Amino acid sequence: MSANAEAPGRAAADRALGSARRSRWLRKLYKQRYLQVMALLGVAWMIIFNYIPMYWIQIAFKDFDIILPMSQAPWAGFEHFKEFLTDDNLYPVIRNTLGMSLIKLVVGFPLPIVFALLLNEVRSIRFKKSIQTISYLPHFLSWVILGGILATWLADVGIVNKVLMALGFIDEPITYLAEPNYFWAIAVGSDIWKELGWSAIIYLAAISSVSPELYEAATIDGAGRFQKMRSITLPCIKGTIAILFILAVSGLLSSNFDQILVLRNALNESTSNVIDVYVYQVGIADGRYSYSAAVGLLKSIIALGLLIGANFVTKRLNDTSLF
């Protein structure tokens, strides 16, 4: 009888506790209403532009015609995937994409880290802010503007040829954007120039969270600046480096479409034709929507595999991962 009598009381207590929790949650939600609205806008954007379009992935498995509704398009199975894997353009497109992406990963990934480490050692606040402003500025310019600047600088009468001829490195001007052999170097160099300062922001933020007491203890022990970089700063930001490295590896097949589209031309097409540009040409210019959707879907699947693989390796080596 006592157990039966206690049951209604326990249930009432549970209901009261649940009501109190809901009340606290609602009050907290109301206090954060502006932040919640901002977060909801981001969630809405992601749903509209990332999740709803997934419905049209089925185009990759159909013979889609823009004139007819998608529901009436006949199924083609994996024919478009097979066609891409046997296409004559497969090797040059993959070579150009991976070639530039790997160079950007090997050269362009460590440079923001080094830049952030060196910038953190600058003691003059005015000089430090000036360097930051100069390095950030190219990021806020579109590739249409930067492409025009590069085309002017790299022309046969541009400043690059004039400087190299004045220094005696070349005897006659070179039209760099018309030479396929120079395109990879131009693409990688201009991408680093544009994003170096902006990419360093994350590392500077991570460095700012390092405890000053560690530096003070190292100074007492007689450590120099480079010793403190190697023994304190780098180990403290290795988690941030690992996460960004995982994301960089997952994007190996995603070249900078805007940059390539602006800098490429018919003369350098042999080294500038990458997967994103190929999909754009085949899908938009030629109207082969199902084929381009299949290529894009295949690229996304490989990128997912790279992400999982890089995450697994980084977790084993560094005990840091995205998931």
The per-residue pLDDT for range 81-102, each reduced to its tens digit, is 999 999 888 899 999 999 999 9
User: What is the C-alpha to C-alpha distance for residues 320 and 118, in angstroms, rounded to an integer?
Assistant: 25
Q: What percent of the chain stands above pLDDT 70? A: 95
Position 225 pLDDT exceeds 90: no
User: What is the C-alpha to C-alpha distance for residues 153 and 160, in angstroms, rounded to an integer?
Assistant: 6
The per-residue pLDDT for range 238-257, each reduced to its tens digit, is 888 989 999 899 888 888 88
Domain borders along the chain are 68-318
Under 8 Å between Cβ of 166 and 282: no
CATH of domain 68-318: 1.10.3720.10
Q: Report residue 128's pLDDT band, with 50, 70 and 90 as the boundaries.
A: confident
Match 């170096």 to its residue by tokens: 196
Distances (CA, A) of 263 to 87, 105, 181, 196: 25, 20, 14, 19
The per-residue pLDDT for range 10-24, each reduced to its tens digit, is 766 667 777 778 888
Q: For residue 288, what is the DSSP state?
A: -
Evaluate if pTM is beyond 0.85: no
The per-residue pLDDT for range 269-299, each reduced to its tens digit, is 899 999 999 988 888 788 888 998 999 899 9
**Quick one: average pLDDT of 47-64?**
89
Q: Could you tell me the two tokens for 282?
A: 């085949």
